[in-house]
């Protein structure tokens, strides 16, 4: 019940994060939009003033006293009503005031003339008058009846500020509703986006050691959640395979251990039912020791497999000749072959060198050769060859037994697998030798397999990387 809550908290956190980020961006947008709006209004005001200056220049005329006056009747028309709000001042180049309209109330509009003020262009600026009013001013020089004059025209900036304030107020008033709506949209979108994750979490809660065959749903294999689901599904597949292998291994090991234990118990119980001579007791003890030896060999093999599977066996690498190694193995199992009147023939190239753990690799070749002796008829030959194939060292062991069917060739390296259950038990095999051999070869980056022999039987082959340094 807690996982959906955590997913819900994630959705809430995402909503808060995105909502906060959206609010900050919205405030920045409002600030920029307000500034742009102000600049636009200011440009419009300047443009209107320039038009007004051009109109006013045509209405100026000289008075007898050398000053300047304006035909005010023009501004009584309805289309010129806004011109009545203008502030107008006309100066001589020396700063002498030639004309001021009544809106100025005797206040100077901008002070003394600047160098080249309005000469050939329109000077635009913002300033504060002595009465505190902020105005937008345009000045332009003009020739009136052969005399250079400077005309200054301004509008009060208060209407611009009022318009900007209204614009900003509307945006700020709408901002909370916009943020809330955006947060709601994010919350709903996040809910839909995280819905596959919630489904995966609920399904993962139901997967236990007994239900490892179940998999997470993959809504869209192309997105991140789909990729994560596929990765977890592959993990569950590996866990399922490991659990299945462990169950099979445990069942097979229990089965293998049960047989010698049952044999020991049977021999002991039968021996206790009757009195026997000393010779008969020695035979009983010998039989029991034989079963103990088989049991010890099985336990040692299981322990070796367990250590190899957990990576607890360190490798001691050295460089040696493959031919010397197989000759050493042949000498070691030669006694077993002699008991069945078999011959082990070793051929190959002495210069074929590999770098590996000699003891572990010898165990692999020993297990394969031992199997060849067990499953080959009496008075036959076992051929062990060392060669080079495709830049790899190749060791092949060929027997003359019954051979292995095509269906079983991929299974003989599995733990506890036997091609002939009855014969394997009679020969003392537990079905672990080839599994150990496969691990020993693959730990050295090699490969192992089996093919039909050229004259019957089976040919086991081992490929190992060559050592080119020697």
Top pLDDT among 389 and 222 is at 389
pLDDT range class, residue 59, cuts 50, 70, 90: confident
Whichever domain contains 6, its CATH number is 3.30.450
**Do 277 and 406 belong together in one domain?**
no
Domain assignment of residue 186, yes or no: no
| Domain finish residue from 145, 162, 179 | 162
CB 288 within 8 A of CB 264: yes
* Shared-domain flag, residues 251 and 337: no
Same domain (yes/no): 264, 117:
no
| 335 and 368 part of one domain | yes
Mean pLDDT of 173-190: 87
Domain C-terminal end among 162, 196, 213: 162
Does 195 reside within a domain?
Answer: no
Mean pLDDT taken over the chain = 80
User: Does any domain span residue 77?
Assistant: yes
Measure the CA–CA gap between 183 and 244, rounded to whole angstroms. 49
The mean per-residue pLDDT over the stretch 118-141 comes to 88
Asked if residue 289 and residue 339 are part of one domain, the reply reads no
Same domain, 63 and 111: yes
* CATH number of 255's domain: 1.10.287.130
Is 38 contained in some domain?
yes
Distance CA 53, CA 110 (A): 16
Q: Look at residue 71 in the predicted model and tell me its pLDDT.
A: 76
Q: What are the pLDDT digits (tens) for 388-425?
A: 988 899 999 999 888 888 778 777 877 666 665 444 44
Kindly report which listed range (50-54, 306-310, 453-457) carries the lowest average pLDDT score: 306-310
Last residue of a domain, one of 162, 177, 197: 162
207 in any annotated domain? no
pLDDT-derived band of residue 79, with 50, 70 and 90 as boundaries?
Answer: very low
- Asked if 127 and 90 count as a contact pair (C-beta separation under 8 A), the reply is no
- Whether residues 108 and 244 share a domain: the answer is no
Nearest Cα to 88, choosing from 32, 151, 31? Answer: 151
* Structural domain contains residue 93: yes
As for how many domains the chain has, the answer is: 3
Tell me: the pLDDT tens digits for 299-344? 666 666 665 555 556 778 899 999 999 999 888 888 888 888 899 9
Q: Check residue 34 and give its pLDDT.
A: 94
Q: Give this prediction's pTM.
A: 0.49
Buried b (16+ CB within 10 A) or exposed e, 208-224: eeeebeebbebeeeeee
6 with 128, same domain: the answer is yes
* Local confidence band at 28 (pLDDT 50, 70, 90 cut-offs): very high
For residue 211, what pLDDT is reported? Answer: 76
CA proximity to 461, closest of 380, 359, 390: 390
Q: Locate tokens 């078999």: which residue? A: 342
Tell me the pLDDT band of 165, cut-offs 50, 70 and 90. very high
Mean pLDDT value of segment 186-197 = 80
Is 347 part of a structural domain of the chain? yes
- Find the domain containing 454 and state its range: 317-465
| CB proximity list for 53: less than 8 A, separation 6 or greater | 122, 138, 140, 151, 153
Is 10 in the same domain as 141? yes
Find residue 463's DSSP bridge partners.
394, 447
> Which stretches within 145-277 are classed as H helix?
158-206, 224-273
Q: Could you read off the pLDDT of 257-300 as tens digits, one per residue? A: 666 677 677 777 777 777 767 777 777 777 777 667 666 656 66
């Amino acid at each position: 019940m807690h996982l959906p809550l955590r997913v819900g908290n994630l959705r809430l956190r995402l909503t808060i994060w995105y909502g906060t980020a959206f609010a900050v961006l919205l405030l920045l947008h409002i600030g920029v939009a307000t500034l742009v709006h102000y600049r636009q209004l200011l440009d419009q005001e300047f443009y209107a003033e320039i038009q007004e200056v051009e109109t006013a220049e045509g209405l100026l005329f000289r008075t007898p006293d050398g000053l300047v006056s304006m035909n005010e009747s023009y501004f009584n028309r309805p289309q010129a009503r806004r011109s009545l709000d203008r502030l107008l001042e006309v100066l001589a180049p020396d700063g002498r005031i030639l004309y001021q309209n009544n809106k100025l109330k005797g206040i100077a509009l901008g002070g003394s003339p600047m160098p080249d003020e309005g000469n050939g262009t329109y000077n635009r600026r913002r300033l504060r008058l002595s009465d505190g009013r902020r105005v937008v001013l345009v000045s332009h020089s003009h020739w009136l009846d052969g005399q250079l004059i400077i005309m200054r025209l301004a509008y009060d900036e208060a209407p611009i500020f009022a318009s900007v304030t209204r614009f900003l107020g509307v945006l700020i008033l709408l901002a909370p509703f916009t943020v809330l709506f955006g947060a709601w949209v994010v919350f709903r979108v996040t809910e839909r986006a995280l819905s596959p994750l919630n489904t995966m979490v609920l399904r993962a809660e139901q997967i236990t050691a007994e239900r490892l065959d179940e998999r997470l749903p993959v809504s869209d294999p192309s997105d991140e959640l789909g990729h994560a689901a596929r990765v977890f599904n592959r993990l569950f597949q590996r866990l399922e395979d490991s659990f299945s292998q462990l169950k099979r291994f445990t069942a097979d090991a229990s089965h293998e251990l049960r047989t010698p234990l049952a044999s020991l118990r049977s021999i002991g119980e039968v021996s206790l039912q009757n009195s026997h001579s000393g010779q008969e007791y020695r035979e009983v003890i010998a039989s029991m020791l034989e079963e103990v030896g088989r049991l010890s060999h099985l336990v040692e093999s299981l322990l070796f497999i367990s250590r190899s599977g957990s990576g607890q066996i360190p490798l001691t690498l050295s460089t040696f000749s493959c031919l010397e190694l197989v000759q050493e193995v042949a000498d070691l199992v030669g006694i077993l072959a002699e008991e069945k009147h078999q011959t082990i023939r070793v051929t190959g190239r002495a210069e074929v060198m590999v770098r590996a753990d000699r003891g572990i690799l010898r165990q692999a070749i020993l297990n394969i050769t031992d199997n060849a002796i067990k499953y080959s008829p009496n008075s036959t030959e076992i051929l062990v060859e060392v060669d080079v194939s495709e830049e790899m060292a190749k060791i092949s062991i060929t027997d003359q037994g019954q051979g292995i069917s095509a269906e079983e060739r991929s299974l003989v390296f599995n733990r506890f697998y036997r091609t002939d259950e009855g014969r394997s038990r009679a020969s003392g095999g537990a079905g672990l030798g080839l599994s150990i051999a496969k691990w020993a070869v693959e730990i050295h980056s090699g490969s192992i397999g089996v093919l039909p022999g050229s004259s019957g039987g089976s040919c086991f082959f081992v490929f190992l990387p060559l050592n080119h340094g020697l």
